[in-house]
Chain A
Amino acid sequence: MTSSAISVSGLVKSYGPTRALDGLDLSVATGEVHGFLGPNGAGKTTTIRVLLGLLRADSGEARLLDGDPWHDAVALHHRLAYVPGDVSLWPNLTGGETIDLLTRLRGGVDPKRRAELIERFDLDPRKKARSYSKGNRQKVALVAGLASDVELLLLDEPTSGLDPLMQAVFEDCIDEWKDEGRTVLLSSHILAEVEALCDRVSIIRLGKTVETGTLAELRHLTRTAISVETERPVTGLESMPGVHSLRLEGDRARFDVDTAQLDGVLRRLTEFGVRSLTSQPPTLEELFLRHYGDELAEDGVDVGVEEPAGERS
């Protein structure tokens, strides 16, 4: 047994002049659900395809379940399952046939588990793949992946075609999977899903890892939104380190504060007699936008880090 299911360092993969991966690092501990975040084109799929031995990296180290993903591909694939984001199936095969084929190639399936998953995902296994919608094709791949008795699950934006009900089913399945001590690498740009499921997160951008850690650690790097009502108008906040976008309206104050500076700011507030206080913890979305904010700002998009961004995804 190892402590690290996936360890990648300095991975480089170029397609002609474009560098899809530019020194990417990624470490996933055994038994954790690891979120792999980045916008489209950041290199998430390329990384997963290198880990599957479908692409050969130009340089850098990649280890998967203590093996080399390129040379030991077949032996490693016995122990993992993969669900792509854009699922292509054989148009003539039914969903049920496809699930059986894919699971048999990984060493068979427990028919009870298969039936249970088909039921939970509300999939009609008698339909030919050509008549499935994108969501249904994705369900076929998910059932085939989740039904396999393996240690590691590689998921590449697995829920992009699922409705909210099915996303909830998916999240339940991943929770159960985690309870059984198995490992998951979940690539996604649906932040709520990552927040709900993942122990640790790596954020990548332009083929490089820009941030990695637990959600708590990452939140530490972000700002908390505070709205406070005091007995006397608050003064001196503007000069305090870590306070941003301050708005004062009489005895009300609204501002964002770097989470690291929260303690000092709260001490200051209590001096003015706090009547009510609400704080909004930073969402992963804000964290995400902060990393890509400059890119968006260049394109003239209002990044909106100032306001809690809500459930945008």
Chain B
Amino acid sequence: MNSLTGTGTLIRFILRRDRVRLPIWVLGIAVSLMGSVASFGDTYPTQADRQARANVLDSAAAQLFVGPGYGTDHYTFGAMTANELLPFSAIVVALMSVFLVVRHTRAEEEDGRAELVRAGVVGRHASTVATLVVVCGAQVLLAVLLTFGLPASLSELSTSGSFAFAVALAGVGIVFAGVAVLIAQLTANARTALGISSVVLGVTYLVRAIGDMTGTHLAWLSPFGWATEMRAYVDVRWWPFLLSMACTVGLIAVAIRINARRDVGSGVIADRPGPPEASPLLGSPLGLAFRLQRASLIAWSVSLFLLGLVYGSIADQAASLYEDISSLDDYLARIGAADPADQYLAITLSISAVIAVGYAVQSTLRARSEETKHRAEPLLSSAVSRSRWVWSHLIMALGGSVVMMFAYGLGLGISRAISVSDIGELPRLVGSALAYTPALWVFVGIAVLLFGLLPRAVGAAWAFLGFVAFAGFLGPLLQLPNWVYDLSPVDRIPNVPVADLSPWPLIAMTLIAAAMIAIGLVGFRRRDLTEA
């Protein structure tokens, strides 16, 4: 087995490099799933509550997020776990496989490190196989944790049902390890490999969702369908898992065949040549910032638009759920119950705002990543002032924040306007969504403040977003004290469209954001450029 020489060493090497990353993935997924099932017990204490929940799943839009909706006649916690948690967590484990595989295969080759390794006593397929062993091992470990962790978190869940759930999840993870190993063979660079893998992930997910929505057999073409068709907790079937394994073996076999023939560093798909001259747009820092952030701006705003469409289309069912579930009474009272549909729309608006903050922070901190990658230097050594350079990314972040909330409001407004046949919903919801923009700007301000004064601590902006998301999503269930909400810019926005829109919080937050931006800029103008 010459082509596998060194595999053991490489496995230990990958484990050493990812000694933090791997546990974060595995434990992060396990703990959030365990937390989610634990919260089911508090949210749906009675069978009537669970049955009310099951009725929501009948809509086509809901099936985008949940499985085919089996076991809804008698909706147990197990059926709830399998229907509502499996499809989404399957996306997460698929991403885990894709990121880890590309990181240890194509990214290594692209950066030239693979060359160094392969020049040693290491077989042709050793790094591919070592990567697969580690990633699939991590998926198996996650399955073991879930098999015992899920029943421990919610005693109504059976161990055998949880085992089926965990195996279904691991099946998706392992198939996507195979997908990524193959795609990493095809492209010459890691970013494209990640992009194509994500497209495969998205398309196969949609195939599953469309199959379930239309009640056809289309879902059987998708690894996500194989997972949900195992019907964990309800009437378990094991043979769909064999489809996952067969598919994985096929993918790996093709990848190994390609790997046996190609040169190190090359891909099957060559990089397309680009324009030899820059367009007129690319003549200013802002033009460059736009070019660098364009793809992310489009991806984020399209996602938020689609999310708005889906959330808007299930508003009526979701609103009726609120009325039926006893445990939500307190929560609804706290936020001031009004029209249940508006109540629901208000909640989705604050959720979308928290998601859009992700764009705002990422976009602002692009300045920092440009700095650490030595790409600020060529601009700042030309006739571009420091302020102008930072503003180029700030404009993308501040303007992009408006675009994000507009996109979500547009999606929400369109689907709501159609379902209630009232075009007036469109401007009303777009306006409500835009009201959240100053909260996003506050995050931009925090990120710039850190960038200017404590550039090595910009990660704190992400930590604050994590805190706000935690408070917003789990706070009501955990009954956190009020001051926690007061700290969150998103919760400071009036609860539109339920509450009246008072301009003062928006003005105050805009001013706070402006002040932080000003201080951050002064700080940046006074400091050295740092790379680490």
Q: Interface on A for B, CB 8 Å cutoff?
A: 49, 52-56, 73-75, 77-78, 80-82, 84, 86, 88-94, 96-102, 104-107, 124-128, 130-131, 141, 144, 154
Q: Known A97-B277, A101-B288, A125-B276; judge A88-B381 contact (CB<8 A).
A: no
**Which of A54, A77, A91, A97 interacts with B383 by CB under 8 Å?**
A77
Q: How far is the CA of A36 from the CA of B380 in the complex (A)?
A: 22
The verdict on A84 contacting B274 (CB below 8 Å), with A55-B529, A100-B283, A102-B382 known, is no
Cross-chain contact A90 with B292 (CB below 8 angstroms): yes
Q: With an 8 A cutoff between CB atoms, is B189 at the interface? A: yes
Contacts of A84 in B (CB 8 A): 374, 377-378
Closest to A98 in B: B278
Q: Are B278 and A96 in contact (CB under 8 A)?
A: yes
Beta-carbon nearest neighbor of B272 in chain A? A128
| Neighbour of A100 across the interface among B274, B282, B373, B528, CB < 8 A | B282
* Contact across chains for A96 and B276 when beta carbons are under 8 A apart: yes
User: CB-CB < 8 A to B529: which residues of A?
Assistant: 49, 54-55
User: B191–A91 contact, CB under 8 A?
Assistant: yes
Given contacts A54-B381, A93-B291, 9 further A-B contacts (CB under 8 A): A52-B380, A55-B528, A56-B528, A73-B385, A82-B381, A92-B291, A98-B278, A101-B283, A130-B191
Contacting A at CB under 8 A, from B371-389, are 373-375, 377-386
Main SS of the interface on chain A? mixed
Measured between beta carbons, the chain A residues less than 8 angstroms from B120 are: none
What separation, in Å, do the CA atoms of A211 and B494 have in the docked complex? 69
Contact B278 A127 (CB under 8 A): no
Residue B438 at the A interface, CB < 8 A? no
Cα–Cα, bound, A90→B274 (Å): 13
On chain B, the number of residues with a Cβ less than 8 Å from chain A's Cβ atoms is 36
When chains A and B are docked, how far (Å) is the Cα of A86 from the Cα of B188? 23
User: Which are the 6 A-B pairs with shortest beta-carbon distances?
Assistant: A100-B278, A94-B274, A126-B273, A88-B374, A105-B382, A96-B276
Name the A residues within 8 Å of B277 (CB-CB).
Answer: 96-97, 100, 125
Instruction: Please determine whether B275 and A96 come into contact, CB atoms closer than 8 angstroms.
Output: yes
Q: B274 contacts A128, CB within 8 Å?
A: yes
- For B376, give the chain A residue with the smallest CB separation: A54
Which residues of B from 273 to 311 have beta carbons under 8 Å from A?
273-278, 282-285, 287-288, 291-292
A126 with B284: CB separation less than 8 A: no
Query: Once the chains bind, are A94 and B375 in contact (CB under 8 Å)?
Result: no
Residues of B within 8 A of A131 (CB): 188-189, 271
B275: contacting residue among A88, A94, A106, A124, CB under 8 A: A94
Residue numbers in B under 8 Å from A154 (CB-CB): 381
User: Are B285 and A105 in contact, with the CB atoms below 8 A?
Assistant: yes
| Bound Cα distance A49, B373 (Å) | 16
Q: How far is the CB of A97 from chain B (nearest CB, A)?
A: 4
Which residues of chain A are within 8 angstroms of B287 by Cβ–Cβ distance?
101
Residue-wise interface mask of B (372-413) relative to A, using a CB-CB cutoff of 8 A (1 in contact, 0 not): 011101111111111000000000000000000000000000
Contact across chains for A74 and B383 when beta carbons are under 8 A apart:
yes
Contact at A105–B284, with CB atoms within 8 Å?
Answer: yes
Known: A78-B383, A105-B284, A106-B383. A127 touches B271 (CB 8 A): yes
Taken together as a complex, chains A and B put the C-alpha atoms of A125 and B274 apart, in Å, by: 8
Query: Can you list 20 pairs linking A and B with CB atoms under 8 Å apart?
Result: A52-B381, A55-B529, A73-B386, A74-B385, A77-B381, A81-B382, A88-B377, A93-B278, A96-B274, A96-B275, A96-B276, A96-B278, A99-B278, A100-B283, A102-B378, A104-B284, A105-B382, A128-B271, A131-B189, A131-B271
